Amino acid sequence: MVPALAEILASARVVALPMNTRFRGVDVREALLFEGPQGWAEFSPFTEYADAEAATWLAAGIADAWHPRPAAVRDGIRVNATVPAVAAGRVAEVLARFDGCRTAKVKVAEAGQSLADDVARVRAVRAEMGPEGRIRIDANAGWNVDEAERAIHALAPFDLEYAEQPCATVDELAELRERIRYLDIPIAADESVRKADDPLAVARAGAADLLVIKAQPLGGAERALRIVAEAGLPVVVSSALDTAVGLSLGAALAAALPALDYDCGLGTASLFADDVADARPRGGLVSAARVIPDPSALARLEAPADRREWWLDRLTRCHALLAAGDR
């Protein structure tokens, strides 16, 4: 059941979190937080997403605030560092914010940058992490098949753990996977899962070796667990640039998985200069416990009035879609 809109609005807080480094095209990450019977939850679809897609994110927040989280089989989650598309000279500065992380996800294929920039960045990460560090790259579907093959071949000497969403479509991922089989670098699917009408299509097509799972875009932890079980592939639980509240939902999902073979992308609190609670990794781990936002942080990070109204209007529209059964 979808709770009444008034129940959500009663506690709704819109926050704007400043970032240490521009990431995913933003310097400030906005989110709407609200409290239900089980605790605080988050609604933070990216601003460019249409209401139909955003409503799935609201369903995840409602489920988290009104229903118990799945049973956990672990208390702590090992996480990766995330390196935005920064110049190679800034890599050490970025990695220093991720205490104890043995794995780094490096953004590549950034608009306006070149393959040489990607190579320099990944080389710098390898130099900082040493031979035992794990490096994965994330292209956010930024390459076609030919570009992806060339880029992965150029980056292969840095001992890649996997390449995340190098191309946009399931067919492209399948073709690329065949082309680079000789390199023994797995392909991970992210957008092909969380933005797809059928999140299992990529697994059925044999287009990926593992899946990147995000709780909010998939409608919550329970639905994500069902997708993982049906897909039958290893998974990495990652964040959608969530606040500490949303990250705790991702950690709850990761904590409930029977197997967790890869470090998770849930250390992204270290990308923020300020947050509603401290969810940064310690010793390469984050807690699976539910987060309670700090009242003083909620006040300090409150979004401007016009942005608050924008988010409340969006919440109202998405709630109407859920109430009507359209999502």
3-state SS class at 169 = coil
Domains along the sequence of the chain with CATH: 5-69+301-323 (3.30.390.10), 76-295 (3.20.20.120)
Helix H or strand E encompassing 220: none
Q: 24 falls in which pLDDT band (50, 70, 90)?
A: confident
What is the Cα–Cα distance from 143 to 35, expressed in whole angstroms?
40
- Catalytic-labelled residue, pool 107, 194, 280, 319: 107
pLDDT at residue 153 in the model: 98
Report the length, in residues, of the chain. 327
pLDDT surpasses 70 at 326 = no
- Give the pLDDT of residue 21: 87
Whether pLDDT at 327 is above 80? no
Check residue 79 and report its DSSP letter. Answer: B
The label of the residue with tokens 């197997």 reads 259
Q: Is 195 part of the annotated catalytic residue set?
A: no
- What percentage of the chain exceeds 90 in pLDDT? 95
Selection from 242, 207, 209, 237 nearest residue 225 by Cα: 237
Return the percentage of the chain with pLDDT > 70, whole number. Answer: 99
Position 23 pLDDT exceeds 90: no
Mean pLDDT of the region 212-226: 96
The rounded mean pLDDT for the chain is 96
**Which residue stretches of 75-166 are H helix?**
91-95, 115-129, 145-155
User: The tokens of 322 are what?
Assistant: 């859920």
Give the per-residue pLDDT at 87: 97
Cα–Cα distance measured from residue 264 to residue 254, given in angstroms and rounded to the nearest whole number: 8
3-state DSSP assignment of residue 205: coil
Asked whether the predicted pLDDT for residue 267 surpasses 80, the reply is: yes
The two counts, helices (H) then strands (E), for the chain are: 12, 12
Whole-angstrom distance, CA of residue 233 vs CA of residue 167: 19
**CA proximity to 139, closest of 150, 131, 129, 128:** 150
Binding annotation for Mg(2+): 138, 164, 190
Please state whether 270 falls in left (phi above 0), alpha (psi between -120 and 50) or beta.
alpha
DSSP 8-class letter at 85: S
Residue labelled with tokens 């935005």: 84
Q: How far apart are CA 271 and CA 94, in angstroms?
A: 8
Q: Average of pLDDT values for 126-139?
A: 98
Q: Is 107 a catalytic residue?
A: yes
Do residues 269 and 275 lie in contact, with contact meaning Cβ atoms separated by under 8 Å? yes
Given the residues 97, 214, 308, 314, select the one marked as catalytic: 214
pLDDT at site 311: 98
- Could you report the per-residue pLDDT of 60-84, keeping only the tens digit for each? 999 999 999 999 999 999 999 999 9
Q: 238 by DSSP, 3-state: which?
A: strand
